[in-house]
Amino acid sequence: MQEASETFRREGKRIGFVPTMGYLHEGHLALVRKARADARVVVVSIFVNPLQFGPQEDFGRYPRAFERDRMLLEQERTDIIFFPDDSEMYPEGYSTYVEVRGLGEHLCGLRREGHFTGVATVVAKLFNAVKPHFAVFGQKDYQQLKIIQRMARDLNMDLEIIGHPTVREEGGLAMSSRNAYLSAEDREKALLISASMTKAEELFRGGERRAGVLAAEVRKILASKDGIDIEYITLCNPDTLNDVGKIERSALLAIALRVGKTRLIDNTILTES
Amino acid sequence: MQEASETFRREGKRIGFVPTMGYLHEGHLALVRKARADARVVVVSIFVNPLQFGPQEDFGRYPRAFERDRMLLEQERTDIIFFPDDSEMYPEGYSTYVEVRGLGEHLCGLRREGHFTGVATVVAKLFNAVKPHFAVFGQKDYQQLKIIQRMARDLNMDLEIIGHPTVREEGGLAMSSRNAYLSAEDREKALLISASMTKAEELFRGGERRAGVLAAEVRKILASKDGIDIEYITLCNPDTLNDVGKIERSALLAIALRVGKTRLIDNTILTES
């Protein structure tokens, strides 16, 4: 991979990169299309990163479908699919970790210990392997995007991090590989997530600036059906991820919950237009 | 710096890098000469990294002599001197750290909390800024060398880490910028370090394989003059840095001590020839 990238760079070819854990959906493909539009060479990695899963999480059963992924990526004119295996990425004696303090200590970072260190570490490794000019990440994983941007800036990585708007299914459910876990009934319940965010956006546009009131409205909608286990509903500063009480110019509304055993996250930025 | 390096790389020019904290001595210059011999472009950085000093350590009074350093580096035909300032390296909101677990939890890592995280972090940053094909480090800082090698391997950094033998003053004292702190009398005492290592090497060649016996001999020599405050005398596995009791094929003998207020380190590898 490094040799190929070095050759492309010597030839002055712009490399765009989309790191994924595979089991691709339209959200991923939108990132690939963004890369395709801006780069001469498009690299997509597929690697289910054990380091970012907790011991009680779904690493083992995380959905995988390499041949289908390959076909989809070829349709999008991906130049290189990079799919290292675990023992290449984490050989015997592996012991180096990249930690982004502060930003990791909010939202999902409070519930998934070590998750963002695992994410930052694998992304640093992938960047060093692929040497892209830019990389595209989805805004559905907003905290991840902010952490990667901070890491890239802090460590003087010579590349641009591009955030891409969340792609949604009809009905508003944010695309996620974990949606594959949902039964038809679960999926129906999961639609309340985007519905609750839409409600918060309406209230915000109507002048509501109290985070507590907006969160309570979101909670009410999510509680309207049984079987939704809310992990957090947070309104925070979009840059620092610090909680806000009264919204000044803008706030991130971030939600994490379980429908049955399936953990889902989503977010939207409330901002004065 | 990145633009210059990208241009060199596109032109196929091999970049050799020597990171330093300045106040250069013959040890540094030996590293620069090594880089000069193997590279088309030689980059030397000068940056006294606040992140690797503890609150009680000598960051503020660490010796600095930029103009002299510049002259010495020009004599060695250094192509680029890279000297970022603190606020460029650690801007407001800086929060990313590179940690090499395991190797950092031995020797100096036990006494200088956060030191090697500071070292690994700044070196990762400098590598990303300079984009060298190889970097040269002195073996006097043996633990640092091993940690950087591990970091580079673990994070898939596309460069080679070269260790260079310790350069010594006449009499055997390892070159160090901190030698500038030593009075004539201190310097006399500091000579016992290399003398004690020579004694250990002799005993090892004579068949002694018990780490405890060798360490005791070193301690006896260092204790023969007043004013030497021993921090550690350790015999350990040169790769893992785990302590050894009986030496199999080889061992690192590592010493840290204070002469007055000045902290000095040195090491040698005992190995069957």
**DSSP assignment of chain A, as one string?**
-HHHHHHHHHTT--EEEEEE-SS--HHHHHHHHHHHHH-SEEEEEE---GGGS-TTSSTTTS---HHHHHHHHHHTT-SEEE---HHHHS-TT--EEEEETTTTSSHHHHHSTTHHHHHHHHHHHHHHHH--SEEEEEGGGHHHHHHHHHHHHHTT-SSEEEEEPPPB-TTSPBP-GGGGG--HHHHHHHHHHHHHHHHHHHHHHTT--BHHHHHHHHHHHHTTSTTEEEEEEEEE-TTT--B-SB-SSEEEEEEEEEETTEEEEEEEEEE--
The predicted pLDDT at position A273 comes to 76
Contacts of A101 in chain B (CB under 8 A): 95-97
Q: What percent of chain A has pLDDT over 90?
A: 95
CA–CA separation, B257 and B193 (whole Å): 9
CA–CA separation, A68 and B75 (whole Å): 60
What residue in B sits closest to A9 (Cα-Cα)? B10
Average pLDDT score, chain A:
96
Of the CA atoms within 13 Å of residue B201, those in its CB half-sphere come to 13
Inter-residue contact A148 to A161 (CB < 8 Å): yes
B202/chain A closest Cα distance in angstroms: 33
Contacts of A100 in chain B (CB under 8 A): 95-96
Question: Average pLDDT, stretch A67-77?
Answer: 98
Question: Average pLDDT, stretch A89-99?
Answer: 97
Residue ranges of chain A assigned to CATH 3.30.1300.10:
177-271
CA–CA separation, A271 and A250 (whole Å): 4
Question: Average pLDDT, stretch A208-231?
Answer: 96
Question: Average pLDDT, stretch A222-230?
Answer: 95
pTM of the model: 0.95
User: Under an 8 A CB cutoff, do B96 and A95 touch?
Assistant: no
User: Under an 8 A CB cutoff, do B157 and A94 touch?
Assistant: no
pLDDT 10s digits, A135-177: 999 999 999 999 999 999 999 999 999 999 999 999 999 999 9
pLDDT(B76) > 80: yes
Question: Average pLDDT, stretch A34-57?
Answer: 96
Enter the ipTM. Answer: 0.94
Q: Which segment of A53-62, A114-123, A215-224 scores lowest on mean pLDDT?
A: A53-62
C-alpha pair distances (Å), B23 with each of B20, B27, B48, B50, B63: 9, 11, 10, 16, 6
Helix (H, G, I), strand (E, B) or coil at B218: helix
Give the pLDDT band (50/70/90) at residue B119. Answer: very high
Residues of A with CB under 8 A from a CB of B: 2, 6, 9-10, 12, 93-103, 120-121, 124-125, 128-129, 131, 150-151, 154-158
pLDDT(B108) > 90: no
Q: Name the class of domain A177-271.
A: alpha beta
Average pLDDT score, chain B:
96
The predicted pLDDT at position B231 comes to 96
User: Under an 8 A CB cutoff, do B128 and A100 touch?
Assistant: no
The predicted pLDDT at position B57 comes to 92
- The helix or strand, by DSSP H or E, that contains position B270, with its residue range, turns out to be strand B262-271
Identify residue A225 by its one-letter amino acid code. Answer: K
A44/chain B closest Cα distance in angstroms: 17
Q: What percent of chain A has pLDDT over 70?
A: 100
Tokens of B191: 């000579």
Contacts of B109 in chain A (CB under 8 A): none
Tokens of A155: 């460590």
Contacts of A131 in chain B (CB under 8 A): 158
A179/chain B closest Cα distance in angstroms: 31
Residue ranges of chain A assigned to CATH 3.40.50.620:
2-164
pLDDT 10s digits, B204-261: 999 999 999 999 999 999 999 999 999 999 999 999 999 999 999 999 999 999 999 9
The predicted pLDDT at position B149 comes to 98
Helix (H, G, I), strand (E, B) or coil at B233: strand
Inter-residue contact A264 to A256 (CB < 8 Å): yes
Give the pLDDT band (50/70/90) at residue A108. Answer: confident
pLDDT(B273) > 80: no
User: Under an 8 A CB cutoff, do A95 and B9 touch?
Assistant: no
The predicted pLDDT at position B58 comes to 92
In the CATH scheme, what is the code of domain B2-164? 3.40.50.620
